[in-house]
Amino acid sequence: MRPVKIVTDSCSDLPKELREKFDIDYIKMNTVRNSKETPASLDWEFYSPKELYDVIRNGERVTTTAVPPTEFQKYFGEQLEKGNDIVYIACSGKLSGSVNVGKVEAENILKGYPGATICCVDSLNACLGEGLIAMRAAELRDEGKSAKEIEAAILPVRNNVNQFATVHNLNALKAAGRVTGSSAFFGNLLGVKPIIISDAVGNNVPIKKAKGRLNSFKEIVALTAEGVKNEKNPVVYITHSDCEEDAKEVEEMVKETIPGAVTYITYIGPIIGASIGADAVALFAFGDSIERFSQQ
């Protein structure tokens, strides 16, 4: 059986430590500021988290691109030349066109490599939710599964990623078209903090509102605790957009609310950060299917 490489993209927000632990590669998207494209590095090679989020705090709009076709061509070509098959875990197709670009480039390049396999999987998630799917794929690879077997095992568990996020204000989401101008105005005025999930088809949608920052933290912790109640050894990932002290406060809440939970804190990367804005906090964990919210 051919060796398998697991690759994701800049939306996955997997820090170097986790990429190395699970032997996961990633393909870069781009951020765009003042018409200049910069690779969206998860290692913050081109600007620091504070630099990015201070730009956003100051009201400047940072936009993003999908993975360029040339990046897929380069990575796919290099791995196929080495005799590897590939499983690409992509950002939700509802949020990025990268998965479709990847499928087109995979189909084209595979014409020159009979017997090779490239699976492009829509994770139905973004941020570390996508990262969790990539880590699960890496575990399956380490169990000796083929690319096709990994894809088949991943598809049914995509909705088991529980994401609960809250933002400090709605300005960035308004600029990204996630909320209307009037909603953003009254939300900020009244101190309302939306609770956002990745739903069963890969959209980011608000499901609840909390009054005040502290209550929003309590809400995302409570929702996470409910989601992982059937997990024996839950691992809860805490991501933040340049508000580490808040993330640490949420971590303490998680430890108090979910006994035995293992926690991990990391940054929201540049692609997701450009849309969600500064001072957001999100929790991610495998748990009960997120489809339960579609019935509310």
Min mean pLDDT across 39-48, 201-210, 273-282 is at 201-210
Whole-number pLDDT of residue 295: 54
Whole-number pLDDT of residue 193: 87
- Placement of tokens 């705090």 in the chain: 57
pLDDT digits (tens, 9 = 90+) for 192-246: 888 999 999 999 888 888 999 999 999 999 999 999 999 999 999 999 999 999 9
Kindly report the average pLDDT of the chain as a whole number: 93
Whole-number pLDDT of residue 176: 53
Give the largest Cα separation in the chain, rounded: 60
Model confidence at 167: pLDDT above 90: no
Looking from the CA of 169 toward its CB, the CA atoms found within 13 Å total 14
List Cα–Cα distances, 211 to 82, 150, 186, 190, 217, in angstroms.
54, 42, 12, 8, 10
* Other CB atoms within 10 Å distance of the CB of residue 213: 18
Cα–Cα distance measured from residue 13 to residue 193, given in angstroms and rounded to the nearest whole number? 23
Whole-number pLDDT of residue 19: 98
Dihedral pair phi/psi, residue 206, rounded to 5°: -80, 135
| The total number of residues written for the chain in this structure | 296
Whole-number pLDDT of residue 35: 93
**Residue 188's pLDDT band (cuts 50, 70, 90):** low
What are the structure tokens assigned to 167, written together? 């933002």
Angle between helices 213-227 and 244-257 (to 10 degrees): 40
Q: Is the pTM of this model over 0.85?
A: yes
Which residues, other chains included, contact 289 with Cβ-Cβ below 8 Å and sequence gap of 6+?
Answer: 159, 160, 200
What are the structure tokens assigned to 56, written together? 């956003």
Beta bridge partner(s), residue 120 = 88
Task: Report the candidate in 66, 77, 68 with the shortest Cα–Cα distance to residue 118.
Answer: 77
Which residues, other chains included, contact 112 with Cβ-Cβ below 8 Å and sequence gap of 6+?
Answer: none
Model confidence at 30: pLDDT above 70: yes
Domain ranges of the chain: 4-156, 160-295
**Residue 8's pLDDT band (cuts 50, 70, 90):** very high
CATH of 160-295, one of 3.40.718.10, 3.40.50.300, 2.60.40.1180, 3.30.1180.10: 3.30.1180.10
Report the pLDDT averaged over residues 243-255.
98
Model confidence at 183: pLDDT above 70: no
Cα–Cα distance measured from residue 95 to residue 118, given in angstroms and rounded to the nearest whole number? 22
Domain at 4-156: CATH code: 3.40.50.10170
